[in-house]
């Protein structure tokens, strides 16, 4: 049985270590904050200028001056600090954030990541994604293992090389999908499968993965 | 009253804004945007404007209202996905667009204000963003060169300001405002609270008054919420 | 108590400082210097240290006490004129010295903390400072390239800190401390007032806690005055 | 009669315009603040991180956390703001300071300035002087017209070319000495004498000036 979105998030949460400063993207990454292990204290960074991001406000307590990078209303914590966008991305680019968890359209076996544009479609912009993947110490991608096309067919997202425009070159350290977990060696050592979702076979994951990988279960 | 304090947004822009100018506008999404000053830009009728702003507003709010009047010729932004009118005008070839990664945009503005004409960053290396830019290796890592940005006018929103032009921002409404305040020939700030010089603790000021040439007290900033997300109170 | 809070300066340095390391020390003159942490460096006995600091203290205070014990191999500074022992050791060839203009020093440290490996500045063009550095023209003006600085350990002085490591500086004691806090693998702060997380207004914090790994409450910072200048009260 | 130090400072103060942000060096430049014309409001910047520098404190009110760039105790004003050294020199380098008044050892007719080191003597460092002369919009030098040597002879300080190491190349806009006032055209138009101290003759100032200059009295 492949993992659900919640199970992917729970698996990603195991990468959190006590004292980490973490940036979570939109979608499955946001769910990771629900699975922070007991005894582990992490501070969430929001790249629009905040450390120590709290949960959504109670109804009626929304503050237009207090939003996250997804433009959602949020709250502050006793640990919170605010700063400018320049200071925020100085923090990101300077390698002070321990972990970034984000979604992807494609990941290549060398760690290339594509998640910001599809040629021919309306381009919305890269926002802070290129800065995050270039600057954060460890980049974890969480995504569905394959893309479902309109005609019902499936396309691999873990590729030998991305064909979409890149968000970052050689930036991904780990990929967690509904089928399993891969690591990518930042020194060119390639991709390794380190975990399978319960009930998923090596044959199945291999058949749905274009990228070359070592098996290190 | 200080010579920096203007009676309203229209007066603060008078004689300053001209066709073809480059402006910066603070804010992230609709948070911390200088909405009253943007309305005054609309009323000024100035056209062929280039705007440096992280986002382009939404339909009917923020810079979106200047897209409606077709006063904007070009945007330098990191994300414009909330605005249908933007997409229409862009696809029709009526609008130029320069995408810059958000952190690179923030740093380019900070550099422009601080007299740094260019700097190196690892953001965008190996991507479309690097095309046409100088690439160089420092200590074994690849970087690209990015240029500072400096504008004719910056439009800023602050929570509190004093008559000397010192500004304090509130929570995540700070975002791009402090760097933009430093990176123009003429910085105009709208403030929700205007106080006499000496009232704000000088250790708490985010933008020193030297950067702010004109200041307007606004009582009607819209402060709209884009994504109202909440949780239920326990019964 | 937070894991960041250490009982004293000696404990905060324990296991961290090693011979040959590069350290940053905040302060301008004797204002805002991490004097108690500098004493702990002396007690650690670590030697062959490189210090990045705007000044080198005076005889018997600030970094001057590490010159006495000959623990400093090299200084990167903008001005060392207050220190006779410095001059002696330098002229005897016992001390290396890299002069950097004060603004370039501040910017190099800020760049190091912000992931900027190099930037261009007009400071020093056509002077000794430009020798051996790349020069380039942008928009008709000459600039030289300067490199970011990053250290093993930064020693910081702040007025107030909380258990999360968030810091607030007081008046001109801020100076080099905020940039240095961001530009090392390990930043240790001595604070005059230590409070629980949540007590400092998050809009008033100068250094976010992410940069501060260890924090020590000090009650005996010397806070000496170098030039006591006063005016008489009217009778 | 040559001008006194106080008269030099008073003449320099005429360069202050209402609303200016000004950085004053140590020595004669510091005296300029005593001669700010009536109706003119200026803010003094101290490059160690302060705008709106006030006078020396009353005895007993000295604050070790409040000093100027000369390390002297000072006070704050209602207009004061504090900031980091990086922000302070960003302000300076970015051209936001209107006027810098500082001393000099030598000035050349092309605007070159030397005021930080004498080869063979102990080098103390340039501090913030190179940043100030490179970044501030208008740089005014105040100095004695000639240097008095130990043997009683005099050496010109306004030269065809500086022989001391430079603080900045082509940075000086105006020179005020005890004998008169010169402007230097930043576009290579050379040096012009625009004022003589009362009782000083053109012959005298010419004889004590090595630099070539136009007379524009």
Domain-wise residue ranges, chain C: 5-118+149-217
- Closest-approach residue (CA) in chain D for B196: D78
pLDDT of the residue at C66? 97
Are C203 and A82 in contact (CB < 8 Å)? yes
pLDDT band at B84 (very low <50, low <70, confident <90, very high): confident
| Number of structural domains found in chain A | 1
B82 CA to centre of own chain: 17
Across the interface, which of B118, B170, B204 has its CB nearest the CB of C120? Answer: B118
Please report the ipTM that was assigned to this predicted complex: 0.97
For residue B169, pLDDT over 70 is answered with yes
pLDDT of the residue at A120? 84
pLDDT of the residue at C25? 98
Helices (H), chain A: 5-13, 28-31, 85-93, 129-135, 202-207
**CA distances, A155 to each of A200, A213, B37 (Å):** 18, 18, 48
Closest to B155 (Cα-Cα) out of B182, B187, B185: B187
- Let me know if A47 is a catalytic residue: yes
C197 touches chain A (CB under 8 A): yes
pLDDT band at C106 (very low <50, low <70, confident <90, very high): very high
pLDDT band at D88 (very low <50, low <70, confident <90, very high): very high
C4 touches chain D (CB under 8 A): no
- Closest-approach residue (CA) in chain B for A112: B126
Could you say which DSSP state residue B141 is in?
Answer: E
**Are B and C close enough to touch, i.e. 3+ CB pairs under 8 angstroms?**
yes
pLDDT of the residue at C235? 64
* Total Cβ atoms within 10 A of residue A119: 8
For residue C90, pLDDT over 80 is answered with yes
Residues of chain A positioned with their CB less than 8 A from the CB of C205: 81-83
- Min distance C61 CA to chain A CA atoms (Å): 32
For residue B113, pLDDT over 90 is answered with yes
Closest to C224 (Cα-Cα) out of C14, C15, C29: C29
For residue C1, pLDDT over 60 is answered with no
CATH number at residue A210: 3.40.1080.10
Share of chain B above pLDDT 90, in %: 93
pLDDT band at D120 (very low <50, low <70, confident <90, very high): confident
Q: Kind of pairing, strands D146-148 and A213-215?
A: unpaired
What's the CATH architecture for B5-118+149-217?
3-Layer(aba) Sandwich (3.40)
Closest to A116 (Cα-Cα) out of A100, A133, A101: A133
Convert the pLDDT of each residue in C120-174 to its tens digit.
Answer: 999 999 999 999 999 999 999 999 999 999 999 999 999 999 999 999 999 999 9
Are B138 and C120 in contact (CB < 8 Å)? no
pLDDT of the residue at B235? 64
Could you say which DSSP state residue D180 is in?
Answer: E
Q: In whole angstroms, give the CA distance from residue B193 to residue B206.
A: 15
A89 φ, ψ (degrees, to nearest 5) = -80, -20
Helices (H), chain B: 9-13, 35-44, 64-68, 84-91, 102-113, 177-182
Residues of chain C positioned with their CB less than 8 A from the CB of D130: 101, 103-104, 123-124, 127, 129
B113 touches chain D (CB under 8 A): yes
Residues of chain B positioned with their CB less than 8 A from the CB of A88: 103, 106
C22 CA to centre of own chain: 11
Best probe of the A interface among C2, C210, C211, C213, by most A CBs < 10 A, is: C210
Q: Which two tokens stand for residue D95?
A: 């051209």
Across the interface, which of C115, C198, C208 has its CB nearest the CB of A135? Answer: C115
With a CB-CB cutoff of 8 Å, which residues 88-147 of chain C face chain B?
A: 107, 111, 114-122, 136, 138-139, 141, 143, 147
**Are A and D close enough to touch, i.e. 3+ CB pairs under 8 angstroms?**
no
Are C122 and B115 in contact (CB < 8 Å)? yes
Are D95 and B115 in contact (CB < 8 Å)? yes
Convert the pLDDT of each residue in A153-188 to its tens digit.
Answer: 999 999 999 999 999 999 999 999 999 999 999 888
B233 touches chain A (CB under 8 A): yes
B53 touches chain A (CB under 8 A): no
Convert the pLDDT of each residue in B11-23 to its tens digit.
Answer: 999 999 999 999 9
- Min distance D72 CA to chain B CA atoms (Å): 19
Active site residue ranges of D: 47
For residue D138, pLDDT over 60 is answered with yes
Contact C23, C151 (CB under 8 A): yes
For residue B2, pLDDT over 80 is answered with no
Convert the pLDDT of each residue in D139-169 to its tens digit.
Answer: 999 999 999 998 999 999 999 999 999 999 9
Residues of chain C positioned with their CB less than 8 A from the CB of D115: none
Are B209 and D51 in contact (CB < 8 Å)? yes
Residues of chain D positioned with their CB less than 8 A from the CB of C175: 48-49, 84-85
Closest to A15 (Cα-Cα) out of A192, A214, A188, A181: A181
Q: Which two tokens stand for residue A22?
A: 């973490």
Share of chain A above pLDDT 90, in %: 94
Are C171 and D86 in contact (CB < 8 Å)? no
Across the interface, which of C109, C172, C225 has its CB nearest the CB of D62? Answer: C225
Please count the residue pairs, one from chain A and one from chain C, whose beta carbons lie less than 8 angstroms apart.
Answer: 62
Are A49 and B175 in contact (CB < 8 Å)? yes
- Min distance C104 CA to chain A CA atoms (Å): 18
C118 touches chain A (CB under 8 A): no
With a CB-CB cutoff of 8 Å, which residues 159-198 of chain B face chain C?
A: 168-171, 174
Element containing residue D29 per DSSP (H, E): helix D28-31
Residue A173, domain extent: 5-215
Are B205 and D94 in contact (CB < 8 Å)? no
Residues of chain D positioned with their CB less than 8 A from the CB of C81: 124-125
Share of chain C above pLDDT 90, in %: 93
For residue B46, pLDDT over 90 is answered with yes
D117 CA to centre of own chain: 16
D partners (3+ CB pairs within 8 A) are B, C
pLDDT of the residue at C137? 98
- Min distance D75 CA to chain C CA atoms (Å): 10
D40 φ, ψ (degrees, to nearest 5) = -105, 125
Across the interface, which of A19, A45, A94 has its CB nearest the CB of C182? Answer: A94
Averaged pLDDT for residues C59-66: 94
| Cβ neighbours for D132, distance < 8 A, ≥ 6 positions apart | D23, D25, D47, D92, D97, D100, D102, D139
- Min distance B156 CA to chain D CA atoms (Å): 17
| Cβ neighbours for B49, distance < 8 A, ≥ 6 positions apart | B19, B20, B21, B22, B23, B41, B66, B71, B72, B73
Contact A11, A37 (CB under 8 A): no
For residue C234, pLDDT over 90 is answered with no
- Min distance A211 CA to chain C CA atoms (Å): 31
Convert the pLDDT of each residue in C197-230 to its tens digit.
Answer: 999 999 999 999 999 999 999 999 999 999 999 9
Please count the residue pairs, one from chain C and one from chain D, whose beta carbons lie less than 8 angstroms apart.
Answer: 180
pLDDT of the residue at B207? 98
Give the distance between the most distant pair of CA atoms in chain A.
52
Are B127 and A167 in contact (CB < 8 Å)? yes
- Closest-approach residue (CA) in chain D for C107: D86
pLDDT band at A134 (very low <50, low <70, confident <90, very high): very high
pLDDT band at D1 (very low <50, low <70, confident <90, very high): confident
| Mean pLDDT for chain A overall | 96
| Mean pLDDT for chain C overall | 96
SS3 D8: helix
Q: In whole angstroms, give the CA distance from residue C211 to residue A87.
A: 12
pLDDT band at A198 (very low <50, low <70, confident <90, very high): very high
Averaged pLDDT for residues C59-79: 96
**CA distances, C75 to each of B84, C89, C95, C103 (Å):** 57, 12, 8, 16
A partners (3+ CB pairs within 8 A) are B, C
- Closest-approach residue (CA) in chain C for B138: C117
Q: Which two tokens stand for residue C60?
A: 């018997």
For residue D186, pLDDT over 90 is answered with no
Which residue's entry shows tokens 């004093």? B162
Share of chain D above pLDDT 70, in %: 100
Are A93 and C211 in contact (CB < 8 Å)? no
- Min distance D80 CA to chain B CA atoms (Å): 6
Are B202 and D81 in contact (CB < 8 Å)? yes
């Amino acid at each position: 049985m492949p993992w659900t979105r919640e199970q992917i998030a729970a698996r990603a949460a195991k990468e959190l270590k006590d004292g980490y400063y973490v940036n979570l993207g939109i979608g499955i990454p946001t769910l990771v904050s629900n699975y922070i292990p007991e005894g582990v204290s992490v501070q969430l960074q929001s790249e629009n200028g905040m450390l120590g991001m709290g949960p959504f406000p109670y109804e009626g307590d929304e503050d237009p001056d207090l939003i996250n990078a997804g433009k959602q209303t949020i709250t502050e914590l006793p640990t919170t600090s605010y700063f400018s966008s320049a200071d925020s991305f100085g923090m990101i680019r300077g390698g002070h954030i321990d972990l970034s968890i984000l979604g992807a359209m494609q990941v290549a076996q060398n760690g290339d990541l594509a998640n910001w544009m599809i040629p021919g479609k309306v381009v919305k912009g890269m926002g802070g994604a290129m800065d995050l993947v270039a600057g954060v110490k460890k980049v974890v991608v969480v995504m569905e293992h394959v893309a479902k096309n309109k005609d019902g067919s499936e396309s691999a997202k873990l590729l030998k090389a991305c064909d979409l425009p890149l968000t970052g070159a050689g930036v991904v350290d780990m990929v967690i999908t509904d089928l399993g977990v891969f690591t990518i060696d930042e020194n060119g050592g390639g991709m390794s499968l380190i975990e399978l979702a319960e009930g998923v076979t090596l044959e199945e994951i291999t058949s749905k993965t274009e990228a070359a990988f070592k098996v290190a279960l | 009253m200080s010579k920096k304090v203007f009676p309203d947004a229209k007066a603060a822009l008078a004689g300053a804004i001209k066709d073809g100018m480059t402006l910066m506008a603070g804010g992230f999404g609709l948070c911390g945007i200088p909405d009253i000053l943007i309305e005054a830009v609309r009323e000024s009728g100035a056209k062929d404007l280039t705007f440096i702003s992280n986002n382009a507003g939404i339909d009917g709010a923020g810079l979106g209202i200047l897209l409606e009047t077709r006063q904007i010729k070009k945007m330098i932004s990191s994300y414009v996905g909330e605005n249908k009118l933007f997409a229409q005008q862009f696809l029709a070839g009526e609008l130029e667009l320069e995408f810059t990664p958000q952190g690179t945009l923030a740093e380019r503005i900070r550099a422009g204000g601080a007299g740094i004409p260019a700097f190196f960053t690892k953001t965008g290396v190996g991507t479309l963003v690097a095309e046409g830019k100088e690439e160089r290796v420092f200590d074994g890592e690849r970087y690209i060169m990015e240029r500072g940005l400096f504008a004719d006018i910056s439009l800023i929103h602050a929570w509190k300001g004093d008559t000397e032009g010192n500004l304090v921002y509130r929570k995540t409404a700070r975002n791009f405002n402090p760097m933009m305040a430093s990176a123009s020939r003429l910085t105009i700030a709208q403030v929700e609270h205007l106080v006499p010089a000496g009232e704000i603790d000088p250790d708490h000021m985010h933008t020193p008054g030297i950067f702010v040439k004109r200041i307007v007290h606004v009582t009607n900033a819209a402060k709209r919420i884009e994504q109202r997300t909440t949780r239920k109170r326990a019964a």
